[in-house]
Amino acid sequence: MKPIEITRDNFTEEVANSPVPVLIDLWAPWCGPCRMMSPVIDEIAESAEGFKVGKVNVDEQMEIAASLRVRSIPTLVVFKNGEVAAKSIGVQSKEEVLKLLDA
């Protein structure tokens, strides 16, 4: 499965009201480290069981980035029960990203 594109229109449904944890990748097309993370996030999304994966383009969804106080990208945020459970900034290995989901 591919990551879900998260926008202000679907944030409540896909993230805030999600019955399963949600891993969100906040990124931008011009960001080199974001492009490095993209295959990792895609790989995690393909094998996701018990959680879902979304991506937020911060250039297009500035309100979401601002509400999460994102100052650097890539930023990964894990939501559980509509609340931020974990946050990570910068390039991470697949293993490190999966550990965030256990937080």
Query: Exactly one of 4, 31, 68, 86 is catalytic; which is it?
Result: 31
57, 28 contact by CB (below 8 A): yes
Query: Exactly one of 23, 24, 34, 53 is catalytic; which is it?
Result: 34
Q: Which residues is 80 bridged to in the sheet?
A: 83
Neighbours of 48 (CB within 10 A): 17
Can you tell me the distance from the alpha carbon of 50 to that of 48, in angstroms, rounded to the nearest whole number?
7
**Catalytic residue status for 31:** yes
**Catalytic residue status for 60:** no
Q: Which residues are catalytic?
A: 31, 34
